[in-house]
């Protein structure tokens, strides 16, 4: 008993003892130690107050998240742009300095290594934010590419990485003053929190006017930050603040102090997951890659794969899969009244004829609804289509009573719950 989902999915990856983040002392001061779990090799709070309260704070006011475990890799110097265009699926041709974009890093056979955000600071200066769990892998991949250890184009062995930009891990101590970590401030009141903390009037106005995926550098409470209008909660207004790790705790405290009167709460991993599920945003290993090897197209993010580019690693495989795929990620809505069992990963998805057509990837309970992200037959997953749900067995006694532990596609099953397909993504 008492093993939480975050532990289960991440413990195999974290071989060494989990590390403390730059904000560990803040977590310990804000919540009971029993709420701190090991996630992607870091000790992080599952929640401070409660998942539901933190979720609601981000939807109605604001929330602040420790994202200092996220990987931040700088790629700069002559040829940096060329290298990023080869490394990632999106195109930087039209990416202006001060703007960011969602993208994918694929292996040579099209497998997703990570989903990332690429920030362009200047013509030849970029940084890429990668998932904490994939940080080491992406660093190794980039190093192997730069050392010419990988045949990047299966159809043209002569194709080489012709540029050698400088690559630095901005979370490494050798970056000294250039070190950066990520703190996210999300929700409708987040611009108000920043306006309390930004003293310069002009900068305050500029930050308030940032559009999605735009960023700028400014002082927040006297701390140098890169402020970006990005996030992972589906909030229309939300920021990520990139700050030196030595100043992260000061910034965190300042945000809490300025934000509390406006309804802001510190938010843990639990609400981060329920918010991104509600918004339909994929989590690597669940709605991307993972046991089903889900591609960007199936995940609903094919727009970030620019097949018109001359080349990127994994392009041949993407061309094929963009033409033919039978299953996709969909967002469905199910009831969650009292006494209704929570839907979980690997539960079965049924069409209106009770036929099994896929599986649940992630689910969150939000008030009186459960929102699930599922991987199911594309043709039965149009908006407003009726869907059924079958709980897979979670205990020995349920198996003894005849409940199935794993569900095959095509089986006829009695639905335990019924719901409907809703829009793939949602904004709040």
Partner 1 sequence: MVIEGLLYTKDHEWARIDADVATIGITDYAQQMLGELVFVELPDVGKQCAGDDELAVVESTKAANDIYAPVAGKVIEANDELEAQPELINQDCYNAGWICRLQITDVKSVESLMDSKQYEEYLAGL
Residues within the interface to partner 1 (CB under 8 A): 1-6, 32, 34-35, 46-47, 50-52, 270, 274, 336, 338-342, 344, 364-365, 394-397
Which residue, 344 or 355, is less far from partner 1 as judged by CB? 344
Beta carbons of 371 and 332 less than 8 angstroms apart = yes
Which residue, 81 or 270, is less far from partner 1 as judged by CB? 270
Which residue, 11 or 195, is less far from partner 1 as judged by CB? 11
Burial class (CB in 10 A: 0-12, 13-18, 19+), 293: exposed
β partners of residue 335? 369
Length reported for the chain: 428
Please report how close the Cβ of residue 5 comes to partner 1 at its closest, in angstroms: 6
Eight-class DSSP state of 143: H
Which residue, 268 or 300, is less far from partner 1 as judged by CB? 268
Please report how close the Cβ of residue 17 comes to partner 1 at its closest, in angstroms: 16
Edge to edge, the sheet with strand 36-39 lists 19-20, 42-45, 36-39
- Six-digit token string for 205: 């106005």
**Distance separating the N- and C-terminal Cα atoms of the chain:** 36
Cα(124)–Cα(122) distance, integer angstroms: 5
Please report how close the Cβ of residue 2 comes to partner 1 at its closest, in angstroms: 5
**Contacts for 287 with CB less than 8 Å, ≥ 6 apart:** 294, 299, 329, 361, 362, 373, 375
Please report how close the Cβ of residue 7 comes to partner 1 at its closest, in angstroms: 9
Please report how close the Cβ of residue 360 comes to partner 1 at its closest, in angstroms: 13
Tokens 């099953």 belong to which residue?
A: 413
Please report how close the Cβ of residue 32 comes to partner 1 at its closest, in angstroms: 6
Please report how close the Cβ of residue 39 comes to partner 1 at its closest, in angstroms: 12
Cα(338)–Cα(332) distance, integer angstroms: 19
Residue 219 in 3-state DSSP? strand
Which residue, 38 or 380, is less far from partner 1 as judged by CB? 38
Please report how close the Cβ of residue 109 comes to partner 1 at its closest, in angstroms: 35
Give, for 76, the enclosing helix (H) or strand (E): strand 71-76
Q: Quick one: how far is CA 14 from the chain centroid?
A: 19
Beta carbons of 414 and 322 less than 8 angstroms apart = no
Which residue, 188 or 268, is less far from partner 1 as judged by CB? 268
Residue 256 in 3-state DSSP? helix
Instruction: Report which of 248, 249, 251 is spatially closest to residue 259, judged by C-alpha positions.
Output: 251
Which residue, 227 or 343, is less far from partner 1 as judged by CB? 343
Tokens 């990416």 belong to which residue?
A: 95
Which residue, 16 or 338, is less far from partner 1 as judged by CB? 338
Which residue, 216 or 340, is less far from partner 1 as judged by CB? 340
- Six-digit token string for 397: 């006694």
Please report how close the Cβ of residue 45 comes to partner 1 at its closest, in angstroms: 11
Name the percent of the chain in helix, strand, coil, to the closest 5: 30, 30, 40
Cα(382)–Cα(386) distance, integer angstroms: 9
Pairing of strands 327-335, 369-377: antiparallel
Please report how close the Cβ of residue 72 comes to partner 1 at its closest, in angstroms: 28
Which residue, 7 or 411, is less far from partner 1 as judged by CB? 7
């Amino acid at each position: 008993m008492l093993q939480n989902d975050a532990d289960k999915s991440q413990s195999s990856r974290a071989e060494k003892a989990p590390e403390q983040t730059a904000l560990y002392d803040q977590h310990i001061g804000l919540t009971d130690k029993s709420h701190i779990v090991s996630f992607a090799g870091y000790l992080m709070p599952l929640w401070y107050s409660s998942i539901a309260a933190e979720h609601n704070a981000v939807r109605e006011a604001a929330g602040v998240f420790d994202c200092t475990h996220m990987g931040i890799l700088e790629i700069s110097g002559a040829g940096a742009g060329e290298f990023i265009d080869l490394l990632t699926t999106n195109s930087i041709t039209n990416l202006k300095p001060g703007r960011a974009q969602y993208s994918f890093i694929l292996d040579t056979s099209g497998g997703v290594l990570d989903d990332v955000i690429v920030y362009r600071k200047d013509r030849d200066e970029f940084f890429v934010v990668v998932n904490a769990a994939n940080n080491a892998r992406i660093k190794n991949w980039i190093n192997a590419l730069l050392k010419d250890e990988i045949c990047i184009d299966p159809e043209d062995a002569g194709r080489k990485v012709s540029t050698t930009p400088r690559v630095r891990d901005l979370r490494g101590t050798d970056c000294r003053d250039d070190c950066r970590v990520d703190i996210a401030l999300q929700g409708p009141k987040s611009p108000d929190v920043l306006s309390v903390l930004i003293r310069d009037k002009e900068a305050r106005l500029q930050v308030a006017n940032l559009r999605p995926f735009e960023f700028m550098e400014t002082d927040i409470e006297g701390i140098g930050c890169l402020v970006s209008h990005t996030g992972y909660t589906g909030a229309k207004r939300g920021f990520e603040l990139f700050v030196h790790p030595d100043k992260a705790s000061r910034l965190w405290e300042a945000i809490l102090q300025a934000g509390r009167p406006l309804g802001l709460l510190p938010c843990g991993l639990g609400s981060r997951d329920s918010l991104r599920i509600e918004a339909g945003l994929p989590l690597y290993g669940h709605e991307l890659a993972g046991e089903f090897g889900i591609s960007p197209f199936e995940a609903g993010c094919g727009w970030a794969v620019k097949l018109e580019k001359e080349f990127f690693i994994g392009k041949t495989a993407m061309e094929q899969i963009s033409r033919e795929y039978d299953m996709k990620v969909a967002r469905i809505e199910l009831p969650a009244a009292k006494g209704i069992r929570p839907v979980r990963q690997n539960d079965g998805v049924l069409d209106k004829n009770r036929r099994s057509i896929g599986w649940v990837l992630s689910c969150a309970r939000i008030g009186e609804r459960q929102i699930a992200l599922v991987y199911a037959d594309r043709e039965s997953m149009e908006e407003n289509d009726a869907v059924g749900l079958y709980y897979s067995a979670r205990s020995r006694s349920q198996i003894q009573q005849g409940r199935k532990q794993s569900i095959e596609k095509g089986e006829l099953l009695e639905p335990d719950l019924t719901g409907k397909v809703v829009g793939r993504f949602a904004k709040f």
